[in-house]
Amino acid sequence: MNLYQQAEYWLSAHKIDQLPEDEGIEVAFAGRSNAGKSSAINVITAQRSLARTSKTPGRTQQIIFFKLDESRRLVDLPGYGFAKVPLAVKQHWQKTLERYLQTRRSLRGLILMMDVRHPLTEFDQEMLNWCKLSNMPVHILLTKADKLSRGKGSAALEQVRSELSGEMSVQLFSALKRVGVDEARKRLNEWFQITG
Ligand SMILES: Nc1nc2c(ncn2[C@@H]2O[C@H](COP(=O)(O)OP(=O)(O)OP(=O)(O)O)[C@@H](O)[C@H]2O)c(=O)[nH]1
Ligand SMILES: [Mg+2]
């Protein structure tokens, strides 16, 4: 069993002061609502329903922590850019997410998910800009790759790759067809300092 398969639900935080101790290493999954964050976590951990997925955007509404071992965690973030959430909720989340990203010392990297059919939305660009400015390593998963032909998938990959800089990387991913799972785990291994 690898480290990811032993992932266990740990806790959910609705507010910044509910976050667990800021120690060890954590990697957070971010991206637009419905991009496939929770599905990616389930496939990477090889657990069918560790993170709750849904056809309804805005499913994940808390910062959810999954423990890999005593010092390592995966974090499922609420999706950004979901229009149907009431403004007050949106503002609460924006502020909480910002605080989390800006202050979390144990945050080693971000897995940023974008639907391969429409990557680099305004929100994604903002996120990438912020990562660049704050030297936060990012690995992008272009999700739902099963929805595009091979040629169109490669084209999207090249397009996104050409916009990256520094400690940023990108790959194609499909939770449905289990495409790119090992590649994603490899990047996580680097951040979690796992060798072998
Ligand atoms: N075809 C296809 N559908 C996918 C894939 N990944 C996720 N989906 C579907 O996309 C929808 C959203 O997936 P989630 O994993 O819940 O997305 P999320 O980013 O966690 O969404 P929020 O929690 O609402 O922000 C679900 O209906 C999934 O079944 C994929 O690789 N291929
Ligand atoms: Mg989710």
The length of the chain is 196
What are residue 173's DSSP bridge partners?
none
- The CA radius of gyration of the chain, in Å to the nearest whole number, is 16
Measured in Å, residue 10 CA sits from the centre of ligand 2 at 16
Span 148-163, pLDDT tens digits:
999 999 999 999 999 9
Name the burial class of residue 86, with classes exposed (0-12), middle (13-18) and buried (19+) by CB atoms within 10 angstroms of its CB.
Answer: exposed
171 Cβ closer than 6 Å to some ligand 1 atom = no
Chain position carrying tokens 């951990």: 45
Closest listed ligand to the CA of 79: 1
pLDDT for the residue 59: 63
Residues with CB under 5 A from ligand 2 (ion): 37-38, 59-60
Would you identify the CATH topology of the domain 4-191? Rossmann fold (3.40.50)
Residue 48 confidence (pLDDT) above 80: yes
Above pLDDT 90, what percent of the chain? 72
175 Cβ closer than 6 Å to some ligand 1 atom = yes
Residue 164 confidence (pLDDT) above 90: yes
Above pLDDT 70, what percent of the chain? 93
Span 127-144, pLDDT tens digits:
999 899 889 999 999 999
pLDDT band at 67 (very low <50, low <70, confident <90, very high): very high
What angle (nearest 5°) sits at the alpha carbon of residue 158, between those of residues 155 and 160?
Answer: 110
Q: Which residue's alpha carbon is at the smallest distance from atom 7 of ligand 1?
A: 36
Choose which residue among 53, 62, 114, 143 to substitute to test ligand 1 binding: the one with the highest number of ligand atoms within 8 A of its C-beta.
53
pLDDT for the residue 58: 65
Range from 50-54, 84-88, 107-111 that averages highest in pLDDT: 107-111
Q: What is the DSSP string of 49-91?
A: TSS---SSTT---SEEEEEEETTEEEEEPPPB--TTS-HHHHH
